[in-house]
Chain A
Amino acid sequence: MSAGTLAAKRRRATLRTLAFMAPWLVGFAVFFAYPLISTVYFSFMHYDGFRPPEWTGGRNWVYVFEHYPLFWPALRNTLWLVVVMVSLRVVFGLGVGLLITKIKTATGVFRTLFYLPYLAPPVAATMAFAFLLNPGTGPVNSLLERAGLPAPGWFGDPGWSKPALTLLALWGIGDLMVIFMAALLDVPAEQYEAAQLDGASAWQRFRYVTLPAISPIVMFAVVTGVIQTMQYYTQPLVAGKVASGVIQGAGTQFEPGYPDKSTLTLPQLVYNLGFQRFDYGSACVVALVLFALSMAFTALLMRRRGGLIQAGD
């Protein structure tokens, strides 16, 4: 075979690859690379969408970090959610996964019932919980009062709004349950038998056999949970809107993070700055903070031999 035909063959293969990759290459350029560069550019500009963008140096950055009243509350809320909601979800997901592996009667029915809430569309699920937990006529508080227990203000009370969101997140545990269930069933049965022969108690078997075997999956659940928390948007926003009673009324301005900024998250700030205040420059600063945080945790996910990349390679 001559060198000429080999080169031609290689060129054909390259063209073929390009043709198959074409949709994504266009998507990568237009919907990822370009807007990302553009976001960096706008973060140094004053831009309101009407007058042409104007260079302001680091002023947007200083504004967001030092003067924008919603930035630090949103970051604190995110931290709260990472510490409380993510860890509770992992513990509860593992617990429910463990439970389902022990249930021997009507397993399929139990599994489906446990899984269904995960499928409820976020807006619908949040509306449902806003009703269930509403302090006035909600069934949960009715039952609590009938049982002689204190009835919290849930989404209407700054101290209870995040716990209420956590409850909603625990209700939709189906995704973690399935992942943990699969991991638990993969633990070799011989290891349990060996531990039992050695006289290990149920707790010791869990601690020294189960937990080490599924630790990569626990890690996977924690990191994806953190990434999801960075993006947590629809539930806190809808809950705040419904609780405040301000919904899409013409001319009414929704107080972000109602009640008392307790449901603010970073993505909501991009909306608030960009689409309510028309300060596109500062919105891009928050967007970049969000980007840096998401990518840092994604890098962690790819380095760990946990789930995603083990699968990706």
Chain B
Amino acid sequence: MTRRKASLQWIAVHSLGVAAALFFTLPFVFLVLTSLMSDSQALSRDLVPHTWEWGNYRKVFDTPGFLTWWRNTLLYAGLGTVLTVVSSLPVAYALAKFRFRGRKLSLMLVISMMMLPPQVVVIPMYLFWAKQLGLSGTLWPLILPMACGDAFSIFLLRQFLTTIPDEYLDAAKVDGCGELRTLLRVVLPMARPGIAAVALFQFFYAWNDYFGPQIYASENPGAWTLSYGLESFKGAHHTDWNLTMAATVLVMAPVILVFFLAQKAFVEGVTLTGVKG
């Protein structure tokens, strides 16, 4: 009786699960299928390619600018991530482990900065970078600020560092380490999962950023990133959904690949951001 009920429930739950799985995966499937259609078939209502046009992906790479966008994106995401981690770690360490006046206030200001939409300060920032420093048409206005710490990364690292017991730090100090040596020799190795999570989030942030490149790089296609350049694909190829979708797949794929390679660090980061105290 209850066993029958249990197996009925198993069937109900797993049918719902399969239905949900279809909702989440079918868009990817249609995306990839369309990216492999011929030009004329992509204009039809067919769902599955007649001939598999792997050459579409080649054509995307041959599109003028596409490789430059890749390079720019890697520069923005790569250099930006390194700068963010290096500058945010000492701040997070101070907020987690030093006792000083204004610590609570600083933490509240960090959270406020985290919640600040970039559009709020973009006018003065644009005038500063473009008019005073003449850096519009490049990605430097987006990369350089990352040397000054990133609020979200500081917050996340600080959460992680508070979980390291003080005894380890005290032991290092008894051994004659200064704070910097303690940070580099003791804290850094223990904070590796937190750093990995921060690096991942920052990499994804830069990879996905659309507003930043739109403001600072739009005037110079040589400085575009993938996320910004992608929509121009639709413009250049008009109705060629197949090539546009192939380019879309190529923008999504690295993020998903990185996720699979670093799933553990990622999940750790997600739990740190929200619920866990």
Contact = CB atoms under 8 A, between A and B. Distances in A.
B242 to A, nearest CB: 10
B138 interface: no
A121 B227 contact: yes
Interface in B209-264: 210-211, 214-215, 226-228, 230-232, 234-235, 241, 244-245, 248, 251-252, 255-256, 259
The winner among B20, B155, B226, B259 for most chain A CB atoms within 10 A is B20
B274 A127 contact: no
B230 A21 contact: no
B8 interface: no
A270 interface: yes
Interface residues of A: mostly helix, strand, loop or mixed? Answer: helix
A100 to B, nearest CB: 8
A280 to B, nearest CB: 5
A308 B20 contact: no
Contacts of B111: 298, 302, 308-309, 312
Interface residues of B: mostly helix, strand, loop or mixed? Answer: helix
A60 to B, nearest CB: 12
Contacts of A152: none
Contacts of A186: 275
B141 to A, nearest CB: 10
Given A23-B91, A99-B16, A139-B47, A123 B123 contact: no
Contacts of A113: 21, 24-25
Interface in A5-48: 13-14, 16-17, 19-24, 26-28, 30-32, 34-36, 38-39, 42
Given A17-B98, A128-B31, 12 more contacts: A24-B149, A26-B148, A28-B113, A31-B121, A32-B121, A35-B121, A42-B123, A114-B21, A124-B230, A132-B31, A307-B275, A308-B111
Interface of A: 13-14, 16-17, 19-24, 26-28, 30-32, 34-36, 38-39, 42, 49, 96, 99-100, 102-105, 110, 113-114, 116-117, 119-125, 127-132, 134, 137, 139, 142, 171, 175, 178-179, 182-183, 186, 217, 220, 227, 230-231, 233-234, 237-238, 241-242, 246-249, 266-267, 270-271, 274-275, 280, 283-284, 287-288, 290-291, 294-295, 297-298, 301-302, 307-312
